[in-house]
Structures are given as C-alpha cells and as structure tokens.
Amino acid sequence: VVSDVHAGDGMQIRTGDDYRSSLRDGRVIYFDGQLVEDVTVHPRFQSAVEVTARGYDQGLDLSGRSSFPATEMELREQVETFTNVQAQIDLLGATTFSALLGIETAADRLADDLPEYAQRINNFVAWSRRHNRRCVPTITDAKGDRSTGPMKQSDPDQYVRVVGSDENGIVIRGAKLHIRGAAILHDLLVLPTKKMSPGEEEWAVACAVPVSTPGVEILNAGWHVPPQRDSYYPYSRNRTIPVGLVVFNDVYVPMERVFLLGEIQHSATLVHAFGTWDRIISASMMAADAHMYVGLAQLLAEANGVDRTWHVRDKITEIVLHATMIRAGVEAAIANAELTSSGYLAPAELYTNAAKHYASINLTRVMTLVQDLAGGSIVNAPMPGDLEGAHVGELVKKYMQGPDGISGEYRTRLMYAARDVVADWFAGHTQVLGLHGAGGPYAQRLVARKNYPVSDAKSVARAALGLSEDTAI
C-alpha cells in the first residue's frame, strides 16, 4: 500500500468539477507579475482548465492506459490514443500518458542498480494513476552559461540541486523552464536535464513534487488566448496551454518521492527513458498534424479554384510526402520496437528520433506551402464579424467568394482557420514547439546517430567498393 504523503491530495479526480477543485490547493501562480488567486476562473487560464476538465468529464482515465505495451498492437494503440488531431485537444492527458510511461521505463532501467528508487517510482506511478492525476516531465534547467555544466556556473542554482536533507526528505532549489501546463496540473516529475560528472552529485536529483508544495512558484509565459470570438481562432482555442517557469524555492520533498540522489552514473538514465516516449508521441502528433495540413491545403486550393493547376498540385504533393515520411518513421519505430528486459515493447529509438527530427526541421517549409496556397487573404481577409453586418456582410460575401459553390462566407472562415493554423501566434508557437519540444534537433541527431549501425554500414561500403579490412587506415 502506498501512503499519500501529501496532505490534501488523496482525492480521486473523476469529473471536471473534481479537477477544478483539485487546482484550488494553495498553489502559487503568477501571470504578468500578478499573483493569480484562482487559475480556474482567471481569464488567461480558464480555457485551458476547461479543456482539461472536459477530458475528465469525458471519462479520460489514464489508470489502465499507460501500462506497458506488450504487443505491437498495444504499442500502436497507446501511441495513437492521444495523437490524432481531435485527441490532441487534451494535451495534459497526452503529457501525463507519456510521462508515466517514461518514468516507468526509468524505473525499469534503475531496477538492477538502485532497486529502492525503482520501487519508489512504481509506487508513485500507481498512486498517480489511482488518483487520476496529471503530471509533466520537468526537465529543462535554467542552465545559465550553456557552455558549461552546473559546477562552473557563478550561480549554482542554475541547475536544480539539493541544498539540505534530513532522514525523511530533501530540500531542493533551482528552476525548470518551459514546463507545459505546470500551472494547471498536479505533479512535477523533476529530472536532471543532462548527464552529471563527478563533483556534480548535488545536481543529480530526481523527484516528484506536487505543484501545491510550499516553495513552488510558477511564472507563466505570455500566451495567446483567443480574445474575441471562437470563429477567429477555431483551431488554437482548444489547444493553448500555459507554459511555466517553475521555481523551487527550498522545497521539501519526502524521501518516498525521491528517485535519484547523487548517483551521477544514472543522472541521464531518466531523461533518456523519457525521451523515447516523449518523441514518439510528438512525432505521432506531428504526423496527425501533417495529415491535417494536406487537407487544409486541398481545401484552400479548391476555395481558390486552382486545385487542378499543376504547381498547386505539386505543392500539395510535397505536403503529402512530408506527412507520409513522418507516418512511415512512426510506423517503423513501432514495427521495430525493442523488447526490454522486463518484457515490454519500447519504440525503436533510431526511427523515433529520425521521425521526430524530420518532422521538426521540415515543419516551417510545410507551413510556408500552406501560406503560399492560401494567398494574401490568409492574413488580410476581413473579419468574421464583418459577415454579421447587413451592409458589410454583403460586401464580404461578394468579394471574398471563390469559384461557383464557394461562398464568400465559407472562404473568409477558411482563411481565418488557415491563419490560425499556419500564420498567427499559434503557428509560431507550433513551429518552436516542433523544433525544441521533446528536446531540440541536436539531441535527436545524437540519439539517432548513436543507434544507427555505422560499423555495419562501413562493412557494407568496404564490400561494395572491394576494399578489404587490412587496407583500412
């Protein structure tokens, strides 16, 4: 039996209302310099809270879902559960799903060397599932001078570290950046952002921290909340979540929730375990998005009456190839999934990282193609509100129409939708999320290269070129 170590958080969250009350737990949240009294009613947080609450009301229960997949079919089902365009709306559900799989994978990898930590992780996962809580990997440190590690920073708090302990727990200090949904979820899974070297033991710390813990303070990035009518932002209105800079201001963490404490040899084990799940989910989401971009491009071409023009068809074909390549990478990652020593299937790292990398670096190109196909109205169309005016509405309908069968109203709304997806605030956010989310392209290149059979490639090249081993320099 796992004890509920944090007072007041033993509640099982079933409904949207349960979720809303679970957020009124004394958490310290700031927006634009102001303390937020209640995230559930604050205008900037409310829509994201409502989307997550709906996920609860629709019975999205992660308790059974995030157990390890044993077959290819289960793995595919799990990867796809949260990654079609509709399901992506419950981003915190998807984040929790991959976070729990990630930390379970870490437990599996720690089990031989550090069985007590593995047990604590498994206890945490069981507790989190039982209470149907939402959590997020809380990895990216402030990092200060990026050219050097924590020990050489003039301020040692640039990486989260242990600053005190007693027999029952530890005290941590530092900050983590870019944490998805931090202000509106329950638990932060704190992990070292990189491998630590000898002497850096105090920074080799991993633990689970409820957002409501005294000393946790969350500052939020400015993000876009549709300020006007839904029709202006039909895509992003359900997809924006707050992203937090999470400060750990001497936060006490009970030992039951500590998963690493100075074991530098395992400082990167956790982040690597998370990486595979985070990236396969991201790649799968990006495959679903790319499929949607194909449809959007086709709708725009038809609305402009140019869908049969060769260069337009060619541009849509380019998006088709993009969508297909990402999907192929995800499928290859599943088809080549690796059986772990514990008997579960994990997506193949090479294909997972290659798919995510390919999706990231080509995203801007694909968005540009959609902008190209839309024409300037993607940013200059009159506003949907104009459609409602008796006089101006008629003008919009007359001058925004496309070929026969494409009304001015439809074409105006389509342009607004396209703007939301590829040419407005959310589009910029999507590009940066695509690039840096789940680790930047550099990290994906490293993992892909590490997993590619380069020696085999050398042997193949030698054989093909008629070079023997002993002539090699």
Ligand X SMILES: Cc1cc2nc3c(=O)[nH]c(=O)nc-3n(C[C@H](O)[C@H](O)[C@H](O)COP(=O)(O)OP(=O)(O)OC[C@H]3O[C@@H](n4cnc5c(N)ncnc54)[C@H](O)[C@@H]3O)c2cc1C
State the nearest-atom distance from the C-beta of 472 to ligand X, in Å: 32
The only residue of 109, 131, 180, 279 in contact with ligand X, by rule CB under 6 A = 180
Cα Rg, the chain, nearest whole Å: 24
Only one residue has tokens 């070129």, namely 465
The 3-state DSSP class for residue 317 equals helix
Only one residue has tokens 């033991």, namely 201
Residue 144: what residue type?
G
Of residues 282 through 311, those in contact with ligand X by CB under 6 A are none
30 versus 410: smaller Cβ distance to ligand X: 30
Tokens encoding 52: 């997550």
**178 part of the interface to ligand X, by CB under 6 A:** yes
The only residue of 64, 86, 166, 442 in contact with ligand X, by rule CB under 6 A = 442
The only residue of 43, 146, 343, 470 in contact with ligand X, by rule CB under 6 A = 146
The 3-state DSSP class for residue 261 equals strand
- Determine the interface stretch with ligand X among 54-62, 79-87, 381-389, 436-444 (rule: CB under 6 A): 436-444
The only residue of 22, 78, 98, 138 in contact with ligand X, by rule CB under 6 A = 138
Question: CA 133, 134, 136, 138: dihedral to nearest 10 degrees?
Answer: -50
State the nearest-atom distance from the C-beta of 437 to ligand X, in Å: 5
106 versus 136: smaller Cβ distance to ligand X: 136
- Determine the interface stretch with ligand X among 44-52, 114-122, 176-184, 458-466 (rule: CB under 6 A): 176-184
> x/- string (CB under 6 A) for ligand X, residues 242-281?
-x--------------------------------------
- Determine the interface stretch with ligand X among 74-82, 286-294, 395-403, 428-436 (rule: CB under 6 A): 428-436
432 versus 467: smaller Cβ distance to ligand X: 432
CA atoms within 13 A on the CB side of 86: 1
**136 part of the interface to ligand X, by CB under 6 A:** yes
b/e map 405-415, b = 16+ CB within 10 Å: ebebebbbbbb
Per the CB < 8 A criterion, the answer to whether 217 and 244 are in contact is no
Name beta bridge partners: 210. Answer: 187
247 versus 345: smaller Cβ distance to ligand X: 247
What secondary structure letter does DSSP report for 194? S
Q: How many residues does this entry show for the chain? A: 473
- Determine the interface stretch with ligand X among 56-64, 159-167, 372-380, 430-438 (rule: CB under 6 A): 430-438
Tokens encoding 217: 């303070």
Which residue has its beta carbon closest to ligand X?
Answer: 139
State the nearest-atom distance from the C-beta of 149 to ligand X, in Å: 9
**439 part of the interface to ligand X, by CB under 6 A:** yes
Residue 374: what residue type?
A
144 versus 262: smaller Cβ distance to ligand X: 144
The only residue of 16, 55, 69, 137 in contact with ligand X, by rule CB under 6 A = 137
39 versus 190: smaller Cβ distance to ligand X: 190
State the nearest-atom distance from the C-beta of 198 to ligand X, in Å: 19
The only residue of 432, 457, 461, 467 in contact with ligand X, by rule CB under 6 A = 432
The only residue of 81, 140, 236, 353 in contact with ligand X, by rule CB under 6 A = 140
The only residue of 92, 437, 444, 447 in contact with ligand X, by rule CB under 6 A = 437
Distance CA 211, CA 270 (A): 20
State the nearest-atom distance from the C-beta of 315 to ligand X, in Å: 27
Of residues 190 through 249, those in contact with ligand X by CB under 6 A are 243
146 versus 398: smaller Cβ distance to ligand X: 146
Distance CA 333, CA 327 (A): 10
Burial class (CB in 10 A: 0-12, 13-18, 19+), 254: middle
The only residue of 216, 355, 366, 433 in contact with ligand X, by rule CB under 6 A = 433
Name beta bridge partners: 162. Answer: 172
111 versus 225: smaller Cβ distance to ligand X: 225
**139 part of the interface to ligand X, by CB under 6 A:** yes
140 versus 238: smaller Cβ distance to ligand X: 140
* 330 closest CA partner among 289, 296, 270: 289
Backbone φ/ψ region at 26: left (φ over 0), alpha (ψ -120 to 50), beta: left
Per the CB < 8 A criterion, the answer to whether 344 and 69 are in contact is yes
b/e map 304-328, b = 16+ CB within 10 Å: bebbeeeebeebbebbbebbebbbe
178 versus 313: smaller Cβ distance to ligand X: 178
State the nearest-atom distance from the C-beta of 260 to ligand X, in Å: 16
- Helices (H), ranges, 177-250: none
Tokens encoding 29: 């949240």
Task: List, edge to edge, every strand of the sheet that includes 187-190.
Answer: 135-138, 187-190, 205-210, 258-261
Residues making contact with ligand X (CB under 6 A):
136-140, 143, 146-147, 176, 178-180, 243, 432-433, 436-437, 439-440, 442
